[in-house]
Structure 1
Amino acid sequence: MRWRTWVFGVECGTVPVQPPRRMDILFDLDGTLVDSRAGIFNCIRYSMEHHQLPVPTAEDLLWCIGPPILESFAKLVGPDSPHLFEPAVVKYREQYSAIGIFECEVFPEILETLEELQRQGHTMHVATSKAEVYAKRIITHFEMDRFFASVNGSELDGTRANKAELIAHILEQQRISRDEVVMIGDREHDIIGAVKNGVPSIGAMWGYGTGKELVESGATLCARVPRLLVELVGSL
């Protein structure tokens, strides 16, 4: 593309203008696109109470958002009750799929940001450790499916729950170059997963992780609010 240059109405020549760089953008779900604390916390507490296990407070469960749910329940149930691990997960999923899945809301500025990124020609994908079957329901429920070329998550048995493995899977399946992709997420798992795949990342500081956590994990950039993503993606 070339742009004509005029001075006082006289054409002085042309200068090259680079078109905007189009990226593939991988978005985490919980803590990045949606605030899902209520549904996740309520269902964990429901399962723990059902199995007469110690019921943590909401504040004590914040660490559970980000890691795979199987990993979280392994720690919650603990080594003293290994026989309750699988039943606890089953009870959680029973409640979550029926009620908790929609006990969440889209973060402010997210829809407007997705619209602008799409307008600029970027291709967007969801990359979440949450079970893919749940992720697709959430994205469709909040009418965000119009923004995403693919929604990717783990299998119920935990396959691809590791964020590094999930990102590698998406890059392969979608034929995405590592030179043209960025991962956006709010927890260390998102950033470390990006680092292990050799791709840049943007820390979502409006989510559940801290700025310190994101920086120490190796985030390339950090955004305080969603609307800043447009500028930061353009700077990569």
Structure 2
Amino acid sequence: MLLRAVIFDLDGTLVDSLGDIADATNHALTLHGLPTHPESAYLRFVGSGVRELIRRAVPAGREDLLEPVLASYKAYYDDHLFDRTAHYPGIPEMLTALAGDGARMAVLSNKSDDFVKRLVARLLPGVPFAAVYGERPDLPRKPDPTAALALARELGVAPTECAFVGDTSIDMDTARAAGMYGVGVAWGFREVAELKAHGARAVADTAQSLLTALRDARP
């Protein structure tokens, strides 16, 4: 394996969390008398952090309810984080194989830091991630490359020695901005065409093909 490290997005890449995100948001909208959305709509709402999720879900003209809906979302999601969320097939085995190859690994998500750490600890126990970053006040969200570059430093690798794996244009834009090798996954929240249009060097459709793509990468 020529790459020395891999940074993974979380939602839509390692875990399928869409159902719980949709349920929590729809619960919050209902509490405040607002219309809900079908689960499929959340494929486009997620990816840019929780405030942007709520902004997209709340109807135009009801911006006065953004903060109350956000608070209700966080309270509900905190209690229902694991109702429907699970890792995608083959993910633990793929991560174990990468660790066996000697790759250093980390997680970088725009989801709230506490939720990211809880999900990783519960759903991917024993995976030797060197660092797990969610949204933090001291770091701008993806696609700004600051957090990805901070992770590369923490992992002890140059950006060019690192892959960035994700399921959205945000992740591929992050990889390009950081000078990393961007790999998309086809099982996530966005389309393959979006990943390729934003510079994915490879797109995997299974965990095993992701492992192969990372092993075969030529930075």
Using structure 2 for the length normalisation, give the TM-score: 0.91
Partner of 1:166: 147
Look up the equivalent residue of 1:142 and give its one-letter code.
L
Q: Distance in 2 between matches of 1:80 and 1:22?
A: 48
Larger radius of gyration: 1
Q: Does 1:47 align with 2:34?
A: no
Does the 8 Å CA contact 1:167/1:193 hold for their aligned counterparts? yes
Deviations 1:80-131 (A, max 9, x none): 1121111111100000011134530110011111111111110110111111
Deviations 1:142-162 (A, max 9, x none): 24353311111102x695333
Percent of paired sites with the same residue: 25
Partner of 2:200: 219
Q: Give the one of 156, 162, 165 matched to 1:184.
A: 165
Partner of 1:12: none
Shift of 1:57: 1.4
Q: Does 1:138 align with 2:141?
A: no
- How many matched pairs? 216
- Higher relative contact order at CA 8 Å, sep ≥6: structure 1 or structure 2? 2
Does the 8 Å CA contact 2:140/2:147 hold for their aligned counterparts? yes
Shift of 1:48: 0.5
Does the 8 Å CA contact 1:129/1:161 hold for their aligned counterparts? yes
Q: Give the one of 128, 135, 159 matched to 1:154.
A: 135
Q: Distance in 2 between matches of 1:72 and 1:171?
A: 28
**Which segments of 5 or more consecutive residues in structure 1 lack a partner in the other structure?**
1-19
Q: Distance in 2 between matches of 1:22 and 1:202?
A: 12
Q: Secondary structure of 1:25's match?
A: strand
Shift of 1:79: 4.0
- Relative to structure 1, the CA distance from residue 138 to residue 191 in structure 2 (aligned partners, 3 Å threshold; closer, same or farther) is same
Shift of 1:22: 4.8
Does the 8 Å CA contact 1:47/1:92 hold for their aligned counterparts? yes
Give the root-mean-square deviation of aligned CA atoms.
Answer: 1.8
Using structure 1 for the length normalisation, give the TM-score: 0.85
Does the 8 Å CA contact 1:70/1:158 hold for their aligned counterparts? no
Alignment of 1:85-124 (within 5 A): 85-124=66-105
**Which segments of 5 or more consecutive residues in structure 2 lack a partner in the other structure?**
none
Q: Distance in 1 between matches of 2:86 and 2:157?
A: 30
Partner of 2:186: 205
